[in-house]
Amino acid sequence: MKYPGSSGGGPKTDDPDSGKGGRSHGDERSLVGSPRANKTTSQRHDPIEEAPALGREAARVLRLNDMGGWTKAAPELYPHQWSWDSAFIAIGLAHLDTRRAARELETLFAHQWRTGKVSHIVFNPDAPPESYFPGPDHWSCAASSPDAPPAPPYTSCLSQPPVHAIAALRIWEAARFAGEEEVSCARAFLGRIYPGLLSWHRYLMTYRDPEGSGLVTIYHPWGSGTDNSPRWDAPLEALAVGEVGPYPRYDLRHVGSPSQRPTNAEYDRYLWLVDLIKRAHRCDEATIYESHPFLIKDVLTSAILVAANEALTEISSLVGAPEDDRVLISGWMARGRRGLEGCWDRELGLCLDYDLRAEEPIRVRTVAGFAPLIAGCLSRARLDALLRTLDSPEFCGHRGLRGPLPPSTSPEDLGFRPRSYWRGPTWPVVNWLLWWSLVRAGEVGRAERLRRTALEQLAVRGFGEYFDPFTGQLLGSDAQSWTAAVALDWLAGETLPKAGLAS
């Protein structure tokens, strides 16, 4: 089926999503991501007993998407290098080949901006123009910016959550189990990547937080990594959207139903925001901050930055960085935690994003609200409050769920859609973030239950991008690289994060 461009933003995809009936793309065909496709999904599987087979399939997915020095996010739907995807991919690759994992990050950071920004996409020059929209031509502002890296390959002007230092430290941890030669190579890698990581974090703490709040500002939903989350409904609705010309929806070719992807109305707003960013003196950060209508303090990105700064502190010690660096990074961590504390909503038991233009918190219930858990260093009372919310009917305790995995949006929230991208489906990478954070908080038993449930889902359904929280159906792309990567990390029990590191 072809999806030509149309006036007002591509093919009609705004039909409501009931979350019932139909078969998902992942149920209709298996690429390499469904190790149990020949068995009924009603059977129970012990992911630990099946670990060897599951690990082989996960490695096979990463080989399928391997482009040499970097990895496609998926075989068809995502033909380029995405920033936070590559970070998660490196975490998984570390258990297969620590040097290849290091190269994943170094390839990404080779295209870092002079400001320190790591773009959310580095475009694959060999990908056909009709494979993804918006492609490099739509981001021409990046090539014209004096701060942009040499091109080709071209990059976008946005960024994504900074998981990279966490991934770099994970590579080091894996190398310690692989012999002296790998340890030596990993230490050399940390020495090479450290200046870029420090510059990247400085960019987020300055250009993206001129107020010094400790919270990272995003200019676009794509910058959050949670594109169509209800977190952005009110700010997007407030936009005065101008004329948006015809554009293709190539993404719809690769999913079983348009309901699994953002709607046309959402895409119109996404592209309007991109146009405004392009008009801002060649993507100038100060101009964007002064005039852009979408400025949100993103608590999930901010929490990941706090955790990444903790990892960066450890890396700085490993590479013998100046003491001034460690003092600087420690200050960033403290500022970030203070900022998150100010976003706590006692009634909802969650941390809330803050809309700078509307000057108010965004009161929706999504997994981003567990940001303080990811940031770590919680009081017992705050940790208990977050765990109560996580276990409640608003998230993992909802009786309609197929298993106790957190939906990306609470089923009790008005914006919930069980099959629509970040509006309800469960995401393996989010499960990984919460598992990792629970272990660090000392909640090892709870973390282990989450890990086993998540692995069982992958053993039954395959390495999908996301899953219907009620039926367990694979949605979005199958053979998704970061899903395979987190599975490999879950299966590598000897490299568990240190309990209590940030509790």
CA proximity to 452, closest of 442, 438, 440: 438
Secondary structure of 324-392 as H, E, C letters: HHHHHHHHHHHHHHHHHHCCEECCCCEECCEECCCCEECCCCEHHHHHHHHHCCCCHHHHHHHHHHHHC
DSSP class of residue 298? E
Active site residue 314: no
Quote the CA–CA distance of 97 and 190 in Å, as a whole number.
15
Quote the CA–CA distance of 226 and 364 in Å, as a whole number.
14
Beta bridge partners of 233: none
Active site residue 227: yes
CA proximity to 91, closest of 202, 168, 193, 197: 168
Radius of gyration from C-alpha coordinates of the chain: 21
- Asked if the peptide bond before residue 153 counts as cis, ω within 30 degrees of 0, the response is yes
Secondary structure of 472-494 as H, E, C letters: CCEECCCCCHHHHHHHHHHHCHH
Q: Of the listed 182, 251, 443, 465, which one is catalytic?
A: 465
Tell me how far apart the terminal alpha carbons of the chain are, to the nearest angstrom. Answer: 51
Give me the amino acid identity at 2: K
Secondary structure of 260-310 as H, E, C letters: HCCCHHHHHHHHHHHHHHHHCCCCCHHHHHHHCCCCEEEHHHHHHHHHHHH
**Residue 403: count of CB within 10 angstroms of its CB:** 15
Rounded-to-10 torsion of CA 170, 173, 175, 181 = 130
Q: Of the listed 57, 227, 325, 443, which one is catalytic?
A: 227
CA angle 80, 85, 86 (to 5 degrees): 80
Q: Are 283 and 145 in contact (CB under 8 A)?
A: yes
Interaxial angle between packed helices 428-440 and 481-491, expressed in degrees from 0 to 180 and rounded to the nearest 10: 30
CA proximity to 225, closest of 465, 487, 39, 402: 465
Quote the CA–CA distance of 21 and 24 in Å, as a whole number.
9
What residues are labeled active site?
227, 465
